[in-house]
Structure 1
Amino acid sequence: MNSEPSVYHKRRHAARTTDEYLFHQLVPYLGNKRRLLHLILEALEITGTLNSKKKNPPIFADFFAGSGVVSRLARQNGYRVIANDWEPYSHALNHAILACVDAPAFKELGGYQKAIDYLNRLPEVKGWVTHNLCPRNDDVYDPTRDRLFFKRRNGMRIDAIRQQIATWQAQGAINDVEMSALLAPLLYSASFVSNTSGVFKSFHQGWGGRTQTALERIESLLWLTPSRFCEIGDRKRPAAEMWCVDSQHLANQMSGFEVDVAYLDPPYNQHAYSSNYHVLNALTLWDQVDLPSPDTKGYKSGIDRAWRKERPSPYNSSKHAKDAYEKLLSTINARYILTSYSTDGNIEPKDLLMANLERGKVTLLTQDVPRYRVSKQRQSERARVLEFIVITDTHAKSGPPLRQLLGQLYHFAELGGVDTSGNSTQLALW
């Protein structure tokens, strides 16, 4: 097992260039824990499950997997991983990367690299992406009547590649894991060349935004490179079990057996991931929904209204987040429950800590991090926010009381000059 601290270095671990499994082709993601992996490792050390000497590897259940970086960390350190996220794009990003010890075989296509090479050589096709997410003309466009998510050439490349993957699936030439191994590089590459700051709730009004600092990235040619896999585990069985369900449903399904570690990283604020990453969901599902024109009220970004209505998360609501978390926490059957949260979240730290104290002994780890902001050029009056991990030992009942835990939390915040008002904006993720 590799228990060395996994400290993220922006240059060395750039998702597009690094060969390291932990950081390779990580999509830009709100709430991404890549900068807090060392803190999560410290939490795992406290549980005593890291570097376990037991015959069977400890089970790590990630209920809100997102980009998959924490599940990758667990895989890299020898845990048997159960990874779940409600969003289809997350399942596509993580299925093969977490479940496979080696690259999938792709027997029908001559191997993984040959499949990737074939997709990269496809002629461009005008399809759903080109018609719905690209302007009619890259040089002469109207942001009120055109969507500017991709340059037309990249839109046509995405159309060609995604349609070929769908064709292979329909022909039975690829299985579900192999499909994920193709979709993951496509979703990452589409994110990389997108005319956004990392989320798809909106696009820049011109190519590269007001400062055009991202123009080189946006104008680069979409190109797939194979995913990396973690060579730790038993080659005779999947290294991870994948789910794509509501977190409460997963907790209900798993209530009959105790996992070693349950990791919770629920959404913090009102911004729904299904909206922020709707383009990735569209590419994953490939249902090619008929979208109204961009000048239709409520459809400028192309977010399907039916999707928004059918998939609200209680964690995006300050009214419902606390109740949803308490219900989930009370249902989970785990020796240790780790919760990542922020002083910016919809759930008050006091309420979150009280809920965990109901389950067992609580230990806190804290770190201040840069506040999310819309762009690197826009400064915030409150530049830092406090991230913390709640470690709950459900087999122990005696521990620090609520007052002491809150004192620890806010004392650290005051030392770091951290704002705890709960106001935040969005980070430029690239």
Structure 2
Amino acid sequence: MAIKYLGSKRVLVPVLGDLLAASEATTALDLFTGTTRVAQEFCRQGAFTTAVDLATYSEVLAQCYVEIDANTIDRTEVAAAIKHLQSLPPVRGYVTETFCEASRYFHPKNGERIDAIREGIDEHYGDSRLRPILLTSLMEAADAVDSTVGLQMAYLKQWAPRALNDLTMKIPEFTPNSGRAVRGDATELVHSLPRVDLAYLDPPYNQHRYFTNYHIWETLVRWDKPEHYGVACKRIDARDPSTKSVFNAKRDMPPALAETIKNVDADVVMVSFSNEGYVPLADLIEMTRARGNPVEVLAFDSKRYVGALIGIYNPSGDKVGSVSHTRNTEYVILSGDADRIQQMADKVLHKTQQTADTLF
């Protein structure tokens, strides 16, 4: 299970796993890990994987799904902790006041349970190795009863049917094998991370800011109960320049991406990008070629994120405008030893039997 997420590579994950397997990599880097779906797949393929992201909630997801080996977990202990947390009496706290009353992301009955459980995690499991597991379970439970179209920039004017369901925590589906979680800025960390066999880069590619798109998860994990502003009740620090990514700036993003691709220390580099991004494919190919290795490009037709499929909403939750298109093209650019990346591309193209064209 995973939270709804803009730019999630859910559909491409099996392809990326096949690519890693074909590369025979035993160490991997997922430099913009987000929900860690790709990092989890790399772990399943047997590669020790480093999952990197700037978001606090992403670090927690990586601590749960990447650092912890499924074979080392006492599921009985996790189940007991979840049962205890779910038994706590409801509390009207920050989540209820901010995300149920001042806004409408969650039904108040679930907001009160989120408040109680979140307080309970720090009170009863603050120093426990179960903490990231329980925070992950709570995020996923809250995501299952939210009233949005997948982004936390707006909520629906009328309750989504799922918002009326009771919040239910579940044991996360742990990943076999392990890796490590690192929180930080990719443009800075890329200079100090150890060399890996394969690095995967899936950077933000347009104006959508993950810090604001998923501000509730950031607040739920930090539990700093920040001041907020606007109809969407975004964190006040969303206005701080330090929370803005260079990858969301149309002018600054291309050179930042070029430097990141150039400096990542890996035998094979895979870059995911969309035809909706700030950088044209031809430019992205040149950025990748600057590493001095041959380049292969795979193209995949895919659905756009859930908000685009459902419609466009204003901050008050009213549907506005119309959807221009519901599909886009996802590119996976491979760079490395010619024989190795050809082997990777051949395996994927043969296995998927879908329209994936090798352009270079």
Q: Same fold (TM over 0.5)?
A: yes
Partner residue, 1:350 = 282
> Do the aligned partners of residues 307 and 369 (structure 1) sit closer, same or farther apart at CA in structure 2, a change above 3 Å counting?
same
Q: 1:117/1:103 Cα in 2 relative to 1: closer, same or farther (>3 Å)?
A: farther
Deviation at 1:223, TM superposition (A): 1.0
Q: CA deviation at 1:103?
A: 7.2
Question: Which amino acid in structure 2 is aligned with residue 182 of structure 1?
Answer: L
Matched, 1:368 2:301: yes
Aligned match of 1:222: 167
SS in 1 for 2:29: strand
Q: Which SS does the other structure have where 1:318 is aligned?
A: coil
* 1:376 to 1:104, Cα distance in 2 relative to 1, 3 A: same
What is the aligned partner in structure 2 of residue 161 from structure 1? Answer: 117
Following TM superposition, by how much is the alpha carbon of 1:67 offset from its aligned partner in structure 2, in angstroms? 1.0
| RMSD over aligned Cα atoms | 2.5
CA contact (8 A) 1:274 1:308 kept: no
Equivalence for 1:202: 154
Number of equivalences? 332
Give the match for residue 283 of structure 1. Answer: 220
Shift of 1:302: 1.1
Q: Which runs of 5+ in 1 are unaligned?
A: 1-24, 50-57, 136-145, 209-214, 234-238, 292-297, 401-414, 417-430
The answer to whether the Cα contact below 8 Å between 1:67 and 1:90 also exists between their aligned partners in 2 is yes
Pair 1:43 & 2:19 matched: yes
Indicate if the aligned counterparts of 1:259 and 1:335 stay in contact, CA closer than 8 A.
Answer: yes
Structure ranking higher on relative contact order (CA contacts 8 Å, 6+ apart): 2
Is 1:133 matched with 2:99? Answer: yes
Instruction: Name the CA shift for 1:267/1:76 in 2 (closer, same or farther; >3 Å).
Output: same
Q: Which residue of 2 aligns with 1:302?
A: 233
Quote the offset at 1:354 in angstroms.
Answer: 0.3
Which residue of the partner structure matches residue 105 of structure 2?
149
Q: Does 1:321 align with 2:321?
A: no
Equivalent AA in structure 2 for residue 343 of structure 1: N
Q: Write out per-residue CA displacement over residues 339-377 of structure 1, whole angstroms, 9 at most, x where no aligned residue.
A: 000111011212111011111110111111123463545
Aligned 8 A contact 2:198 2:268 in 1: yes
Note the alpha carbon deviations across 1:365-415, whole angstroms, 9 max, x for none: 11111234635454744342110100000x569x99xxxxxxxxxxxxxx9
TM-score relative to the length of structure 2? 0.86
The aligned amino acid for 1:358 is: A
Query: 3-state DSSP class of the match of 2:259?
Result: helix
Q: After superposition, give the CA deviation of every residue in 1:273-332 in whole Å (9 maximum; x if it has no partner).
A: 0000000000000001133xxxxxx52111123234221111111111101101111211
- Partner-residue secondary structure (3-state), 2:173: coil
Q: Which amino acid aligns with 2:103?
A: R
Residue 249 (structure 1) aligns with: 188
The equivalent position to 2:141 in structure 1, one of 189, 201, 221, is 189
Instruction: Output the TM-score relative to the length of structure 1.
Output: 0.72
Distance in 2, matches of 1:267 and 1:167, equals 35
Distance 1:243 1:66 in 2: 12
Find the structure with the greater CA-based Rg: 1
Identity %: 27
Name the counterpart of 1:85: 53
